Amino acid sequence: MKFGLFFEFEVEQGGYDKVTQLYDDIIAQICYAEEQGFDSCWIVEHHFTDRYSWCSAPEVLLGSLSRITTTMRLGSAVCLLPFHNPITIAERYAMLDQLSHGRVEFGIGRGVSALEWNTFRPGLFGEPAMESRPLMYEAMDLIQKCWTLERFTYQGKFFSIKEPINVIPKPLQKPHPRIHVAGGSPDSYRLYAEKGWNLLGFSTLKPLIEVAREVEEFRQAWRHSPRAAQPGEFSELAFVRCARTEREADEPLIPYHKWLIQRFREFYFPNPKPGTPEPIPGYYFGEPSYSDFKKHGMVVTGTPGQVIEQLRTFEQYGVDRVMCQFRIGLMPHAMVMDTMRMFCKEVLPAFR
């Protein structure tokens, strides 16, 4: 099982003076992780989230990282395709693949925020994400054509190219960088497998036991697809913290975790309907307990030995890569590095 890094870029509302230091800290964490053998980093994309996540252009940060890292895979997690011109995205990530000497992992998603949809796609669908899936599929189809064809035209439901174009540069990786898609529902897995798309999952938002079902359904889809000879990759996001004792791992984490979960609820689930099934008690309609998150495997915390044991569960479920989120909420850089150093010294060796 491989290990990557994942970042949310959390800053408090109005924290304009904190952003430069945040980016510097995250770049330092990524460089350290590469030295220690992490295989990848994954950069989020959000817009207008001034109470939560301050990273609106992941390809810009990944371009910077392409020149100061040498082995780490550089992933978007995810590029929100419905909010962009796919030709522009094809150009930017092809250039990034060239700059990084072929290290791009292209993660894509539909976007879920009503504010983002109403800003970038006003009046197009009536309701956010009503046709987000076909829009994402068509955008990705056009991007792949941009990456592999010369002088082509295109006519789809959402995009049209009437005069032949040749998008340059092409990616260094042939035929193009690997494609990963966020989340996903079982009815999508068959199509993802047919298209050769890998999966990015999020154990931070659901009980860990659900990961076992998702991995199995994803594997089944690949086994029955034309791509069965090369099974897809399943990556899973996890909050991770280790310390000398379980108490030292959990108690300092609780306020940062609570802050981030509150932001998740505001951003992803602003208006839950009564009766909506909750991943854990109180998630939508109350104050969820940190102990419930831990009981359901939605945080990976404890001593190095306990963290190893919890990560073995991911491995047993068939997860190919755990994307570790060490910086949780407004956690300071020094606290993040303490966990990372212990993790790299005492946890990583158990999986090599």
Write the CATH number for 37: 3.20.20.30
62 in a structural domain: yes
User: What is the CB neighbour count within 10 angstroms for residue 169?
Assistant: 12
Range of the domain at 210: 2-77+183-351
Tell me if 37 is assigned to some domain. Answer: yes
Q: How many domains does the chain have?
A: 1
323 neighbors 236 (Cβ within 8 angstroms): yes
Residue 340's closest CA among 13, 23, 35? 35
Q: For residue 157, is it within any domain?
A: no
Beta bridge partners of 240: 300
pTM of the model: 0.96
Asked whether residue 117 is assigned to any structural domain, the reply reads no
43 beta partners: 7, 76
pLDDT value, residue 228: 86
H helices of 196-328, where?
209-223, 246-250, 253-268, 290-295, 304-317
The answer as to whether 196 is a domain residue is yes
Backbone angles phi, psi at 267, to 5 degrees: -85, -50
- Tens of pLDDT along 206-221? 999 999 999 999 999 9
- What residues in the chain have per-residue pLDDT under 70? 123-130
* 201's tokens: 């999952």
* Residues 6+ positions from 298 with CB-CB distance below 8 Å: 203, 204, 205, 206, 207, 208, 239, 279, 280
Q: Is residue 87 part of a domain?
A: no
| Structural domain contains residue 249 | yes
Question: Would you say residue 162 lies in a domain?
Answer: no
Query: What pLDDT score was predicted for residue 127?
Result: 47
